[in-house]
Structure 1
Amino acid sequence: MKFDKLFRTGHQKTILALDVNRDGILSSISEDGHCILWSSDGQIAQDLDLSNEHCTLCHLHPLNSIVFDSSNSNTFYISCGKIILVYDIRKCSKSQRKYEFNTDEINQLCVNHSGRYLAACDDAGEVKVIDVQESCLFKTLSRHHDNICSTVQFRPKKSWQLLSAGLDCNIINWDFSCGKPQQIFDINYDIHKKTSNETLPFINPPFVHSISLSEDGKKFAAGLGNGDIGLFQFHGKKFKIITSLKAHDTEVSQIFFHKFKNFEEQSLVSGGNDGRLKIWKEITDGQSSNYKLCYTIVHGSKVNWITCSSFVKDSIFVADQSFHVAEYRLEL
């Protein structure tokens, strides 16, 4: 097994976030104020200069997050500061609409499986859930993160569950229909509890930088500031930690579940500030599962974002400190 490395060059500054739709269209956003849509063969299909439409906004705030609508591959959302812009691939000359519900800078956007709800987490520790069908604010999830909320994800196959996590080391499972948490998990407390009788050197706090859920919604992984990956299993509406993987030398900035064509089980891809990518393969014994490291890629630059696709070939797309998107294609 090996990965062939390819580059997609088109930006003039650091690329901050990526997403790919079910048709194999890759999107990238950069500090240069541009959003580029790439065709499945690696060519630039659209180059959107958002500063033309939102000049003041894009000079004051970077484009932090981009996500395709999971139910409509033509629609995608971009966050810029506190603002969310809605675009249609078929008519990209101007945004279709704009949402202004967050009170602080947005860190991540996500869309639920039906495409009706869009979530945006921000530096105020809040998550705004927007009903995009009605173009209105549906719920504000607040008062339970006391620091930056860095990551948010809807739980697959569960209509009203959403996970958020952040720099307070808390992972929260919300019932966003009523706006109340079903569980608050302090991973910092969990780590201290396990190591209270040991003498450990100083390590970075386990800030939660990224979370990703498995396709069936039964488990999720969290990329932590201490270099670990936390693995969690749901039991009904509650979850518990199964294990933690000693993954990277520094912060795990990105984590992503993906089903590669050539792997029987869903795999886990992690990226860190140590400039490495790691592919973890699920090992199941019939009653429980764990993950074994099966491949390490020395990428060489701090990872900003990871997304994966199997539209043409099994690919891992990486945004880092450079001006291009790196693509690793799995070759067996």
Structure 2
Amino acid sequence: MAKQWSEGHSTPILCVGTSPGAEGFVASGSESGEVAVWSQEGNVVGNLKLSGEDDCTSVVFSPAGLLYASHGDVVSTLDSRNLKGAVEEFGGAGEEEINCLALNETASALAVADDSGAVRILELPGKKVCRILRRHTNICSSVAFRPLRPNNLVSAGLDMQVMLWSLQKTRPLWTLNLQDIAEEEDDHQQRPGQLFNPPLAHCVTVAGCGNILACAAEDGRVHLLRVGSGSKLEQQGAFKAHCQGASQAHFVNFFSHPYWLATGGNDGHVSLWDISKHPVLTPEGAAASHKKGKYKAKKKEKGKAEAQQKSEAEKDSGAKVNIDHGDKINWLCPALLKGRPSLLVADQSSTLTVYPLSDV
């Protein structure tokens, strides 16, 4: 049964994050710069209003219990155990309004994605800008570090591009245009009358293995990418997750394997998927991709058969949990709350909703 966490905010909640550890806190940020820290039972431990009137767009915990919160072009450092005010503020951390923060596993780098399309890398401690990554031609909406590879960063933006970066360089290791995947999927499935929504990239996430990426996009699909040796892009594909734009995608790291994926969309639905049998993740999918690339001349003849095989495989990768939340999803956050698998959902309201996943 869903639970409501209230009294932490007076404005719509935009972002949610959890701290590491069995007894870790939950943090949320909302419009007008409100930040709240919650216990795992849903009690408000502390809240404050950040300086200025800008929305709090992203929150991320460090292993040491510090909380980084973005508002406007500023990143504030907060003490999650004593939420009285900012310990430190870094003005101009973004060139324009910040959309997303990401911290690498060693807590040595904080990535800041903003409306200019740039990604700034701040060295920690000290918050010195050590890299500025400029390749997105529109808003950079999401960034995520690859687990086990603290110098590899994934970014995604409203230019429909997903990029993999090495922090030793200021150019991406590779770039993928999601529109290419979308057009290929539509061609295979032969839906000439379908209304087309461009796959603007809203949220990118990386599985715990570090090799599988997922990106929620405006076309309602979740686009999947597999990274191979040498950080090369080996395979890509997609599956339809929502009937309107998919706004959120997050891998869940506390189930039996690393390929459980939670998604949320503008259709008001929250879903949990087991994508372990999706063609992008399987050797058969890799072989099919190689074969397809090798024999492009026969693409049209094989397209229908490949689409049927892919459809059958994706049935096994279907939603294991599908929740009609009823409101547009702003943020989705998998969490272990007192040892219970859960999904924290932020929508257009000032209340967090907690859905248990005890049956998975």
Instruction: Give distance in 1, aligned partners of 2:16 and 2:158.
Output: 22
Q: Does the 8 A contact of 1:258 with 1:266 survive in 2?
A: yes
Match of 1:230 among 198, 223, 228: 223
Q: Does the 8 A contact of 2:266 with 2:327 survive in 1?
A: yes
Match of 1:320 among 324, 328, 347: 347
Alignment partner, residue 18 of structure 1: 16
Q: Does the 8 A contact of 2:215 with 2:222 survive in 1?
A: yes
Alignment partner, residue 251 of structure 1: 245
**Residues 253-293 of structure 1, C-alpha deviations (whole Å, 9 max, x = no match):** 000100344x4554100000000001101334974686332
Residue 68 of structure 1: CA displacement? 0.8
Instruction: Give distance in 2, aligned partners of 1:181 and 1:62.
Output: 30
Q: Does the 8 A contact of 1:260 with 1:266 survive in 2?
A: no
Q: Does the 8 A contact of 2:47 with 2:83 survive in 1?
A: no
Which structure has greater strand proportion? 1
Q: One-letter code of the match for 1:86?
A: T
Match of 1:303 among 312, 319, 329: 329
Alignment partner, residue 218 of structure 1: 211
CA RMSD of aligned residues (A): 1.9
Alignment partner, residue 267 of structure 2: 274
Instruction: Give distance in 1, aligned partners of 2:176 and 2:334.
Output: 28
Instruction: Give distance in 1, aligned partners of 2:183 and 2:78.
Output: 45
Gap runs ≥5 in structure 1: none
Classify the secondary structure of the residue corresponding to 2:181.
helix
Instruction: Give distance in 2, aligned partners of 1:26 and 1:278.
Output: 21
Alignment partner, residue 106 of structure 1: 98
Q: One-letter code of the match for 1:84?
A: V
Change (3 A) 1:221 1:35: same
Q: Does 1:83 align with 2:79?
A: no
Q: One-letter code of the match for 2:95?
A: T
Q: Does 1:209 align with 2:202?
A: yes
Change (3 A) 1:154 1:264: closer
Instruction: Give distance in 1, aligned partners of 2:180 and 2:206.
Output: 22
**Residues 106-156 of structure 1, C-alpha deviations (whole Å, 9 max, x = no match):** 0000100000100010110000000022331110001x1111110011111
Classify the secondary structure of the residue corresponding to 2:27.
strand
Instruction: Give distance in 1, aligned partners of 2:101 and 2:132.
Output: 14
**Residues 184-237 of structure 1, C-alpha deviations (whole Å, 9 max, x = no match):** 111112322454584242221000000110001010111011000111111121
Between the aligned residues of both structures, percent identity stands at 27
Q: Does 1:170 align with 2:161?
A: yes
Structure 1, 228-237 or 90-99: larger mean CA deviation: 90-99
Q: Does 1:117 align with 2:109?
A: yes
Q: One-letter code of the match for 1:298?
A: D
Instruction: Give distance in 1, aligned partners of 2:356 and 2:145.
Output: 28
Instruction: Give distance in 1, aligned partners of 2:143 and 2:111.
Output: 7
Instruction: Give distance in 2, aligned partners of 1:173 and 1:191.
Output: 19
1:140-151 equivalence runs, <5 A: 140-142=132-134, 144-151=135-142
Q: Does the 8 A contact of 1:24 with 1:309 survive in 2?
A: no
Match of 2:318 among 280, 287, 292: 292
Residue 171 of structure 1: CA displacement? 0.4
> Which entry has the higher C-alpha Rg, 1 or 2?
2
Gap runs ≥5 in structure 2: 286-313
Q: One-letter code of the match for 1:205?
A: P
Q: Does the 8 A contact of 1:283 with 1:292 survive in 2?
A: no
Instruction: Give distance in 2, aligned partners of 1:62 and 1:24.
Output: 24
Instruction: Give distance in 1, aligned partners of 2:61 and 2:355.
Output: 21
Instruction: Give distance in 1, aligned partners of 2:140 and 2:112.
Output: 10
Q: Does the 8 A contact of 2:99 with 2:142 survive in 1?
A: yes
Instruction: Give distance in 2, aligned partners of 1:136 and 1:191.
Output: 39
Instruction: Give distance in 2, aligned partners of 1:230 and 1:286.
Output: 15
Structure 1, 213-222 or 86-95: larger mean CA deviation: 86-95
Instruction: Give distance in 2, aligned partners of 1:146 and 1:260.
Output: 36
Q: Does 1:181 align with 2:172?
A: yes
Classify the secondary structure of the residue corresponding to 2:275.
strand
Alignment partner, residue 27 of structure 1: 27
Q: One-letter code of the match for 2:327?
A: S
Q: Does 1:8 align with 2:5?
A: yes
Change (3 A) 1:326 1:185: same
Residue 180 of structure 1: CA displacement? 1.7
Classify the secondary structure of the residue corresponding to 1:42.
coil
Residue 311 of structure 1: CA displacement? 4.2
Instruction: Give distance in 1, aligned partners of 2:13 and 2:185.
Output: 38
